[in-house]
Amino acid sequence: MLQKGLSGLLFLGCVAFGGNASGETTWQVTPKFKINYPALQEVSGISRSQRFEDVFWVHNDSGDEARVFAINRQGDVIYPEFLPFHGQQSRPGRRPWPGHAIELAAHYDWEDIASDADWLYIADTGNNGNARRDLGIYKVPQFNPRVIEKTRAMRYIPVAYPDQQLFPAENWHYDSEALFVDAGQLYLITKHRVAGRIGTFEPGGNLYRLTDAESDRPNELKQVDSLSTLFMVTGAALSPNGERLAVLGFRDLWLFPRPSSGDAWLSESHQTLDLTPYFMGQVEAITWLDDQRLWVVNEAGSVFEVSLDAAVGKKEASLP
């Protein structure tokens, strides 16, 4: 399923370190494939399954049905092949696989997906106009996409920002497209706009923790950190070993080590990769393949692999 022009290219670069980091890391960025599936028209989230081998969960942005898709490492869509009326492509007597329906859920503005061994967490937290009062996270059991046609959301966890009093807000800092899970705790990172100007963004991002998870009331998020140099954050993912947090932005990728204590991830010395030389387009989703490799996906479904090498040099470096 390699799209013409994507395969065979390799980019090398170095990253600049924030804070007091003491090394230079070489990154390799390789275009891998394009998810060539008509129903995946605007990919907004991706997460590698921690329960099922060679399964990556993906979903569309706002305007789609409440559904997820599973793909493998080659970008092929996974579906229950024993169902006689579905297939990868349309042909007489069969219709394309429509995805795994998530019943008891609504797709208002799904922006990211995270997973652990037991659950999928789907963030319906897109809030472009900063006026929504129905933000929340769906909790869906991890299911085998090769034998299950559909499932249901076991819980919907409403969330609210404790410092937002107006709808729309006075400061447009209450849109989140980045979700990650750490030891069963859920975290969101915000994307900031100039108030009243939906298409104009400003630097900064806040990290919130979901402390309570009741279903019958909005659960106030707790702000645990912030970073003024984040910009247009569109995704986040924690490495399998839990030691590094990757945060994806419209033009940068940030890498944070685990805090020595607490969960102030954004205050740690970090590495930043400028994505603009790699011509990735509008990147929206990120997940880890293993502790050294990530997938970055743009909204058109093109997948890029980012490989991290060991620290190799002096303190400061910039991309060539």
31 in Cβ contact with 9 (< 8 Å): yes
What is the reported pTM? 0.89
Q: Give residue 12's pLDDT.
A: 57
285 in Cβ contact with 235 (< 8 Å): yes
Can you list the domains of the chain with their CATH numbers?
11-311 (2.120.10)
**Residue ranges, the chain, pLDDT below 50:** 1-5, 16-23, 311-320
Contact residues for 166 (Cβ-Cβ < 8 A; gap 6+): none
Contact residues for 251 (Cβ-Cβ < 8 A; gap 6+): 231, 232, 274, 275, 276
Q: Give residue 317's pLDDT.
A: 31
Q: Give residue 122's pLDDT.
A: 98
Task: Select from 41, 45, 309 the least CA-distant residue to 176.
Answer: 45
C-alpha distance from residue 229 to each of 163, 192, 204, 226, 284 (Å): 21, 11, 5, 9, 18
130: left (phi over 0), alpha (psi -120 to 50) or beta: left
Amino acid at 43: V
**What is the 8-class DSSP label of residue 3?**
P
pLDDT tens sequence across 39-63: 999 999 999 999 999 999 999 999 8
